[in-house]
Amino acid sequence: MNKIQSLFDLLPVMEQFYSIQGEGFFQGHAALFIRLGGCDVGCVWCDVKDSWDADAHKKFSVEEIVATTNQSPSVLVVITGGEPLMHNLEALTSQLKSAGKKTNLETSGTHPLSGQWDWICFSPKKFKEPISEIYNVANELKVIVFNQSDFEFAVKHAQLVSTNCKLYLQPEWSNAEKMTPLVIDFVKRNPQWEISLQIHKYMNID
């Protein structure tokens, strides 16, 4: 890789950490998380607003990022944000896969897809419309439920993903006491959906 190419592959990393995936299909699995800086979606209830400004975070080369992932015993690597697809992720995912890692993406689907993925968690938000290409490639649709209108929002997006896509409703943490009973009732009436809980928060896992 030449010096110019390496420059383009620098990515703003807010944090890398080894923990337990607390949400969605891989809930309970050990995973190495790469949280990239930069987000233009602006969820009012976001719990990582410090990630929004990409320029606030140090940039690392793909080689440096992959070297950190190799220090954990897990093959599962979750790339999240912020909104990770604001960056070209081809080089990062290519090197992760060459290192024997499984690549999982968490995205709002608002930017063009880049990278090589074993699993794509698509979590659309009302604050910015997803682009159409994400619907056919999503393995998992995860809708955060903050208020009652989010159920209608979830149904709308479920009609657009593939029939093989897993469907999850997740009570938003700050409003979970109010929304969890409603989520339970909805899933009982619509059993094609499942409940995703942020178990890492319930268990005080970093």
Question: Which CATH number fits the domain that encloses residue 42?
Answer: 3.20.20.70
Could you read off the pLDDT of 116-139 as tens digits, one per residue? Answer: 999 999 999 998 999 999 999 999
Tell me if 24 is assigned to some domain.
no
Would 16 be classed as within a structural domain?
no
Residue 31 forms beta bridges with which residues?
Answer: 19
Tell me what pLDDT residue 101 has.
Answer: 97
Distances (CA, A) of 63 to 9, 34, 70, 134: 9, 13, 11, 28
Neighbours of 44 (CB within 10 A): 9
Per the rule left: phi > 0, alpha: psi between -120 and 50, beta: everything else, 109 is: left
Boundaries of domain holding 75: 30-202
pLDDT band at 73 (very low <50, low <70, confident <90, very high): very high
1 vs 102, which has greater pLDDT?
A: 102
Answer whether residue 13 is part of any domain: no
Q: Is residue 18 part of a domain?
A: no
Domain count, the chain: 1
Collapsing DSSP to helix, strand or coil, 99 comes out as coil
- Asked if the structure places residue 143 within a domain, the reply is yes
Angle between helices 62-69 and 90-98 (to 10 degrees): 40
Cα angle 157, 159, 162 (rounded to 5 degrees) comes to 100
pLDDT at 176 over 90: no
Residue 94 within a domain: yes
Q: In what order do the strands lie in the sheet with 30-36?
A: 59-60, 11-20, 30-36, 76-80, 102-107, 119-122, 140-145, 166-171, 193-195
CA pair distance 32, 79, nearest whole angstrom: 9
In a domain, 41, yes or no: yes
Q: Tell me the average pLDDT across 61-73.
A: 94
End-to-end CA distance of the chain: 35
Q: Is residue 169 part of a domain?
A: yes
> Against a cut of 0.75, is the pTM above it?
yes
